Chain A
Amino acid sequence: MLVVNTETLPGYRIIATKGLVQGSTVRAKHLGRDIAAGFKNLVGGELKGYTELLTEARREALSRMLAQAQELGANAVLNVRYSTSAITAGASELFAYGTAVTVAQDGQA
């Protein structure tokens, strides 16, 4: 499955457009991480616990989007965009969406 956030793929032609696909996760912060982050915040710097949380959320949302694309029978997702929103204090949603298409390499049918 080819995934890009542009509208075209170099070396490929779009044969069919399947439609919009999306995936989202809502993640809440772990209390332990929250307290540890509070202490870390006194001296500043990167909060690795939260970074990992965000990475997991992003991977999950992306894989849900790709699963939808797979169901539609597509072999590529173009124009992927992410969007975040705070649902409640301590929980945020990561939303990924794109267009599922079928592509073929240039020079082939």
Chain B
Amino acid sequence: MIATLGTSLAAAVVAARNHDGDVIGLVFNLGIPLVLFILGWVVGGRRERAHLRDLARREALNANILRTDLRAYGPADPTAGALLVSAEVVIGTDYCKAFFAGLRKLVGGNLRSYETLLERARREAILRLIEQARSRQFNALCCVRLEASNVGKGIMPMVAILAYATAYRVPDTATTN
């Protein structure tokens, strides 16, 4: 990302110095990355905020579902049985974030944009697990496991999260009152 922007800037400077009058070249070399950057910033930012709102809404709906990464069930309804549920999601970042991450890499430190990307993907995967469990009349998850891998190339990571857990039924405490 930095390399392409850098070479376009360099090419633009060289063209201007040589008085090539090659305005079209300048427009292409500088314009395309700039357009992509703005596109990533505006549209990407909007999509991310919409996704985060959607995640918050679904998490509020499913807040009463117990989820643990314990291998033990705790109180479980033996007649309801248990089932392996799995969910996967692949989320990519946008051009603007990738550009800033590239800058950050030069000085080191937290890559905050990638941290939020992974967090979004994990929240989405776990919510899909819960929704699957709910659709089969289970109300608890145990032994939640998450696997992450990168399916993108170079500086544009596309993170693939595979989440799996065992769904089971916790006896409703309301009926025991």
Bound state CA distance, A28 and B77, in angstroms? 42
Q: State the Cβ distance, A74 to closest chain B Cβ, in Å.
A: 15
Task: Report Cα–Cα, A33/B33, bound state, in Å.
Answer: 23
A66 vs B48: C-alpha distance when bound (angstroms)? 38
In contact, A47 and B88 (Cβ under 8 angstroms): no
User: A69-95, CB under 8 A of B: which get 1 and which 0?
Assistant: 000000000001111101001001010
Please tell me if B86 contacts chain A, counting CB pairs below 8 Å: yes
How many residues on A have C-beta within 8 angstroms of the other chain's C-beta atoms? Answer: 37
- Among B11-19, B20-28, B100-108, B153-161, the stretch that binds chain A is B153-161
Q: Mark A46-65, 1 if CB is under 8 A from B, else 0.
A: 11001100110010001000
**Using an 8 Å CB-CB cutoff, how does the interface string of A1-34 with B read, 1 for contact, 0 for none?**
0111111111110000000000000000100000
B30 in the interface, Cβ–Cβ < 8 Å? no
A43 touches B94 (CB 8 A): yes
Does A11 lie within 8 Å of B79, measured CB to CB? yes
* Residues of B within 8 A of A (CB-CB), count: 47
Residue pair A6, B71 in contact (C-beta under 8 Å)? yes
Is there an interface contact between B88 and A54, defined as CB atoms closer than 8 Å?
A: yes
Identify the closest chain A residue to B148 (Cβ): A84
Docked CA distance A82–B152 (Å): 21
By a CB distance below 8 angstroms, the chain B residues around A83 are 147
Closest to B91 in A: A46
**Which residues of chain B have C-beta atoms less than 8 A from A37's C-beta?**
92, 158
In the complex with contacts A7-B71, A41-B152, A47-B81 CB distance below 8 A: no
CB contacts (< 8 Å) of A109 on chain B: these are none
A9 to B95, CA, bound (A): 47
| C-alpha gap A31/B14 in the complex (Å) | 37
| 18 CB-based A-B contacts, threshold 8 Å | A4-B82, A5-B84, A5-B143, A11-B79, A12-B78, A29-B151, A40-B92, A42-B39, A43-B40, A43-B44, A43-B94, A45-B51, A46-B91, A47-B92, A47-B158, A50-B158, A82-B164, A83-B147
* Extra pairs beyond A42-B36, A44-B47 (11, CB < 8 Å): A3-B84, A5-B164, A43-B39, A44-B44, A44-B94, A45-B91, A47-B90, A51-B88, A51-B160, A84-B149, A92-B151
Q: Residues of A at under 8 Å CB distance from B?
A: 2-12, 29, 37, 40-47, 50-51, 54-55, 58, 62, 80-84, 86, 89, 92, 94, 106
Which B residues are closer than 8 A to A by beta carbons? 36, 39-40, 43-44, 47-48, 51, 71-73, 76-84, 86, 88-95, 97, 124, 142-143, 145, 147, 149, 151-153, 156, 158, 160, 162, 164-166, 168
